[in-house]
Amino acid sequence: MLEIEIDGKKLTAPQGSTVMEAAHSIGTYIPHFCYHKKLSIAANCRMCLVEVEKAPKPLPACATPVTDGMKIHTHSDLAKKAQAGVMEFLLINHPLDCPICDQGGECQLQDIAVGYGNGASRYQEEKRAVPGKDMGPLVSAEEMSRCIHCTRCVRFTEEIGGFQEIGMAHRGEFSEILPFLGKTVNSEISGNVIDLCPVGALTSKPYRYSTRAWELSRRKSVSPHDGLGANLIVQVKHNEVMRVLPLENEEINECWLADRDRFSYQGLNSDARLKTPKIKFDGRWHDTDWETALAYVVKGLNGVSADHGKDAIGFLTSPHSTTEELYLAQKLARAFGINNIDYRSARSDFRADAAKQGAEWLGSSIVELAAAKSVLVIGSSLRSEQPLLASRIRQASKKGMALNIIHVADDELLMNVHAKLIASPLALVNAVAQVLKAVVAIKGGDSTLDLAQVDVSAQAQAIADSLCAGETARIVLGAVAQHHPAYSELLALTQEIARISGAGFGVLSEAANSVGAELVGAWAQGGMSAGEMIASPRKAYVLLNTEPEFDGYNSAASVAAMKQAATVIALTAYQSEGLLDYADVLLPIAPFSETAGSFINMEGRLQAFNGVTKPQGEARPAWKVLRVLGNMLSLDGFGFNSAEEVRSELLAKGDIAQRLNNSLSSIAANTAAKAGVVRVGEVPVYSTDAICRHAPALQATALAAAPVARIAADVFAAAGLAEGELALVKQGGATLRVPAHLDASLPAGVVRLAVARAETAMLGGMFDTIEIERG
């Protein structure tokens, strides 16, 4: 540690730290624009000039390493004069359009100009003008004259996003920040450049010109999308969510937000929101009041259970619902005598249910996962499933983590990958078994699974070597693995690899509250799983925050099951086309922003939040709806007065950490690889839940473009297709014409075609066989 002095205050700072870091450690503020703690040092704005004794001229605090005995003055005459001089230069070309600038009121340039600049400028000449740029539907770069060339956005895309999408072209006075000509910024975490921009050059396109920063109230919340549980600041005006910003939490989202977390709020204000209860009779929808609608639901449930038995009713819930909602839904179902409840609509393999010993989770904290020396990710399109976790793993892979991948497509992860094994979904179990066999060979243990027929490939060997060599190794299963028809086998093999190699293992929870749904028992447990409820259709369905055509493993079968049911009761925040078609009652419930509740993220962390606005129209928090339904069905134990009471009841079942367990009590796996043409149907990044499906800006991005069939070379050639022409896709009796694209990143026998999109909703299962021919 080095002894230094800042403004007369003595302190110690570690070797290699900078003056800026040392100053921040004692709470001394040094003005800056280009410096950011998560980005590399550029030292190009020169705002952080400070006086260092014995140095001949002011030095930039962000780029000056501390040395022993250094005496720094941040407010001496020399430092102040330097700062005022830099400020004057920065303002030379900066337009004086603060009154019409979106950044006005929360602008670092404004604040620092007031704090450190002179009252007036001596500059009389013309200011330069820079044409606006098109960075896509999320980030507005219309007023690039405001740019002060700090290059934070450039460094963000390169260092955090993994691919430099923004650059600074030209030189000197002609410098311009721009994306490559004709391209937009397509990163899944691009919105962070809006926060990073210290001026009003990069602003939020959906939020632009809607309010002033000081008119907004800041309320804390938690992102309802992926399993990370990013902490949010939701900003509200007149009971409307105007924008979402990150709430810094180093252990979860650091200071970032994925675009899905940041821009999905538009869905909360969508016209498609359901604002009154609706009942369908005489083939038409009628608005009604809550009493009538709930009485109708009670009558429906009692009617079906009297005519066909309780088992004829199925509850499909969503892992994007709050813990309290899921707890009450399963409590209501079970108290009424229905055990058919499941949150896992997107899954297809439930064979491991009997062997479950606890709630599935990541198996470690997020920080521990990123700190592991070796990580194996099985079946995950990381960047679309977990955008921010992918960014954290990217940073870790730069710092020496050996990242290994087993996946169904050779996706561009924009990070350092140590070894990867790409296999068709039909060979995915075999691929994981190869790693197990190699691990057994290295560690000498004995697996209870039959591996005699498995041939270890060089890639599997490299993965096994990495897992066994790392001091700390972790294996995680992504959404592709969880939706896979052999998930139980993938889990079993993973458990064996972990047991023999000494690695930890877990799943990348795909939704904000997957772990919560597991913990409260909103999965089969004595009843039918989601898959069984679709395969052998029920007479009545209760849907909580679920749209089966988008959320189901097999959308065609899910819709067919809904259509044949005598009654479908939907608790939903949106009136979607599907629900209007097959449902009989729509009960408007509040999304996460309008209800108190909690999410339990992938690491088992319970994060409670309060509603940030009042529910829209007649919508009510789902926990209240379920409470009233419980009372109307004369069930005991539904006398809750608040979401907190529900939470304390569900938490009284035991400590969360004690109840998390990925291990299965018995395991089995058929390790033979099969041949055939199979679909890889993934949920696109902005189709994961109803909120982002209704967010227009997200839906306008390149990542949400209309689905196309990406086809492996062998299938492409066999079908005689030409690049870009329409292909006829057949699955489960349904056909679809989509543009075909040859994709060299796919293993043989694979057709990649997204699910959870209206365009493909008539097709069948995510990883089922598929036929393709010239169309």
Partner 1 sequence: MLSAESLASIDREVAKYPADQKRSAVMAALRIALTERREQGQTPEARCLTPEVIEYVANYLEIAPVAAYEVATFYNMYDMKPVGKYKITVCTNLPCALSGGVSAAKYLSEKLGIAIGETTADGKYTLLEGECMGACGDAPVLLVNNHKMCSHMSPAAIDQKLAELE
Give the residue with the Cβ less far from partner 1, 188 or 349.
Answer: 188
Q: How far is the CB of 180 from partner 1 (least distance, A)?
A: 4
CB of 148 to partner 1, least distance (A): 18
Residue that has been written with the tokens 């994961």 in this structure: 688
Lay out the sheet containing 203-204: strands in order across. Answer: 133-134, 139-141, 203-204
3-state helix, strand, coil in the chain (%, to 5): 35, 20, 45
Name which of 123 and 180 has its Cβ closer to partner 1.
180
Contact 31, 83 (CB under 8 A): yes
Q: Give me the least distance between CB of 159 and partner 1, in Å please.
A: 12
Q: How far is the CB of 709 from partner 1 (least distance, A)?
A: 25
Least Å distance between CB 157 and partner 1?
A: 8
- DSSP assignment of 732-754 equals TTEEEEEEEEE-TTSPTTEEE--
Token pair listed for 101: 């600038």
**Residue whose CB is less far from partner 1, 158 or 644:** 158
What is the rounded distance in angstroms from the CA atom of residue 332 to the CA atom of residue 334?
A: 6
Question: From the CB of 156, what's the least distance to partner 1, in Å?
Answer: 13
Q: What's at 206, amino acid-wise? A: P
CB of 158 to partner 1, least distance (A): 7
- 3-state secondary structure string across 461-530: HHHHHHHHHCCCEEEEECHHHHHCCCHHHHHHHHHHHHHHHCCEEEECCCCCCHHHHHHCCCCCCCCCCH
Contact 315, 544 (CB under 8 A): yes
| Cα-based angle 70, 75, 78 (whole degrees, multiple of 5) | 80
Whether the Cβ atoms of residue 360 and residue 488 lie closer than 8 Å to each other: no
Q: How far is the CB of 175 from partner 1 (least distance, A)?
A: 9
Q: Indicate the residue among 103 and 186 with the shorter CB distance to partner 1.
A: 186
Nearer Cβ to partner 1 (166/519)? 166
Q: Dihedral, CA atoms, 70, 76, 78, 83, nearest 10 degrees?
A: 100
153 or 352, CB closer to partner 1?
153
Asked if 361 and 604 count as a contact pair (C-beta separation under 8 A), the reply is: yes
Tell me the backbone φ, ψ of residue 561, rounded to 5 degrees.
Answer: -65, -40
Identity of the residue, 149 or 605, whose beta carbon is nearer to partner 1 in the bound complex: 149
Identify which of 348, 394, 609, 613 has the alpha carbon closest to the alpha carbon of residue 489. 348
- DSSP string covering 555-624: HHHHHHHHHHSSEEEEEESB--HHHHHH-SEEEEB--GGGS-EEEE-TTS-EEEE--SSPPSTT-B-HHH
Q: How far is the CB of 284 from partner 1 (least distance, A)?
A: 55
Give least dist CB 38 to partner 1, A: 20
Q: What is the closest distance, in whole angstroms, from the C-beta atom of residue 163 to partner 1 in the complex?
A: 6
Rounded least distance, CB 178 to partner 1, Å: 7
* CA nearest to 236, candidates 201, 197, 207: 207
| d(C-alpha 356, C-alpha 653), whole Å | 17
Binding footprint of partner 1 on the chain (CB under 8 A): 158, 163-171, 178-183
Q: Of 169 and 675, which has the nearer Cβ to partner 1?
A: 169
Q: Which is nearer to partner 1, 170 or 284 (CB)?
A: 170
Q: Which is nearer to partner 1, 105 or 167 (CB)?
A: 167
Cβ closer to partner 1: 166 or 703? Answer: 166
Residue 231 C-beta-side C-alpha neighbours within 13 Å:
16
Shorter beta-carbon distance to partner 1: residue 174 or 214: 174
